[in-house]
């Protein structure tokens, strides 16, 4: 009889140990779930911070423009000889380029800022270009005239109403029905549009900036701010 009772009690002890282990397992699983929930919650709270967000492509493009601005060419001087006009000499003074004719007469000042370039003549603004996430816009006062969008290693130029005017790649392009070319020698670069020479560049002005000078639909001041915002890498 005693042996029978001991045999009956033995399974009870096993069951007690099993129950304890099961309870411990449930406790551990619950703890793991709580830790996981807390980790996820902390991640959500942290990602509510603006610093956690990468932003859209426009934000990335704006950051890229700022980084390129720091690596701008910083050319000190160059000259432009427009066909049928007097040569213009450009000389850097800090964040400005003073412009004078070949005879030494003051012609204007290109003023460079973090997100724009403007040209002043006789104390008045005559043209302005402002950086955008896709490139830049050109203005007459507050009136938008042109949109210039980065396309690969070149640019696409459109009117304010989004009508396409032309495109440039690194060394050439097409505007309306005109082919645009840039021919460089050891001392100068010559820009032609439709087979007609427009301007000769003396100095280290980049080809991308120089090509902006062929947009004859814009005024000369407007073309100069277009070239400057590209050369200084203020715009993407």
Domain residues of the chain, as ranges? 2-52, 64-231
Give backbone dihedrals phi and psi of 59, rounded to 5 degrees, phi first: -65, -45
Q: Which residues contact 126 (CB under 8 A, 6 or more apart)?
A: 108, 119, 120, 219, 221
Could you tell me whether strands 154-159 and 106-112 are parallel, antiparallel, or unpaired per DSSP bridges?
Answer: unpaired
Structural contact between residues 226 and 212, judged by C-beta atoms closer than 8 angstroms: yes
d(CA 210, CA 41): 54
Tokens representing 205 are 């002005």
Identify which of 136, 134, 128, 125 has the alpha carbon closest to the alpha carbon of residue 152: 134
Structural contact between residues 43 and 37, judged by C-beta atoms closer than 8 angstroms: no
Range with the lowest mean pLDDT among 8-17, 192-201, 221-230? 8-17
Residue of higher predicted confidence among 38 and 91: 91
Identify which of 234, 235, 210 has the alpha carbon closest to the alpha carbon of residue 224: 210
What confidence tier does 138 reach under pLDDT thresholds 50, 70, 90?
Answer: very high
Q: Which residues contact 220 (CB under 8 A, 6 or more apart)?
A: 82
User: How many CA within 13 A on the CB side of residue 41?
Assistant: 6
What confidence tier does 186 reach under pLDDT thresholds 50, 70, 90?
Answer: confident
d(CA 175, CA 124): 30
pLDDT in the model for residue 23:
52
Tokens representing 13 are 């002890």
Alpha helix locations (H) across the chain?
2-46, 57-70, 207-211, 220-231
Residues 78-106: what's their mean pLDDT? 96
Residue of higher predicted confidence among 56 and 217: 217
pLDDT in the model for residue 73:
59
Residue of higher predicted confidence among 31 and 203: 203
- In the chain, the percentage of residues whose pLDDT exceeds 90 is 64
Q: pLDDT per residue over 152-170, tens digit each?
A: 999 999 999 999 999 999 8
Q: pLDDT per residue over 47-66, tens digit each?
A: 444 444 433 333 344 444 44
Whether the per-residue pLDDT at 134 is higher than 60: the answer is yes
pLDDT in the model for residue 187:
87
pLDDT in the model for residue 91:
97
Tokens representing 180 are 């645009």
pLDDT in the model for residue 6:
44
Whether the per-residue pLDDT at 219 is higher than 90: the answer is yes
d(CA 236, CA 220): 22
What confidence tier does 100 reach under pLDDT thresholds 50, 70, 90?
Answer: very high
Residues 117-143: what's their mean pLDDT? 97
Could you tell me whether strands 143-151 and 196-202 are parallel, antiparallel, or unpaired per DSSP bridges?
Answer: unpaired
Whether the per-residue pLDDT at 28 is higher than 80: the answer is no
d(CA 77, CA 102): 13
Residues 9-30: what's their mean pLDDT? 48
d(CA 108, CA 99): 5
Tokens representing 87 are 């040569």
């Amino acid at each position: 009889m005693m042996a029978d009772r001991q045999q009956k009690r033995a399974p009870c002890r096993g069951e007690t140990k099993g129950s304890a282990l099961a309870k411990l397992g449930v406790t551990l699983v619950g703890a793991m779930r709580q830790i996981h929930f807390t980790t996820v919650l902390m991640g959500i709270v942290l990602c509510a911070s603006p610093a956690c967000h990468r932003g859209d492509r426009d934000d990335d493009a704006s950051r890229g423009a700022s980084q390129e601005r720091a690596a701008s060419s910083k050319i000190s001087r160059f000259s432009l000889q427009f066909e049928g006009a007097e040569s213009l000499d450009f000389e850097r003074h800090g964040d400005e380029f003073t412009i004078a004719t070949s005879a030494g007469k003051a012609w204007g000042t290109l003023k460079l800022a973090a997100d724009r370039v403007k040209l002043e003549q006789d104390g008045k603004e005559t043209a302005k270009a402002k950086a955008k996430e896709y490139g830049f816009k050109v203005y007459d006062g507050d009136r938008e005239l042109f949109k210039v969008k980065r396309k690969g290693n070149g640019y696409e130029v459109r009117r304010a109403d989004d009508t396409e005017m032309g495109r440039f790649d690194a060394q050439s392009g097409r505007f309306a029905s005109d082919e645009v070319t840039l021919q460089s020698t050891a001392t100068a670069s010559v820009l032609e549009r439709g087979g007609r020479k427009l301007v000769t560049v003396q100095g280290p002005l980049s080809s991308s900036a120089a090509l902006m000078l062929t947009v004859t639909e814009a005024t000369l001041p407007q073309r100069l701010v277009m070239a400057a915002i590209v050369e200084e890498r203020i715009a993407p």
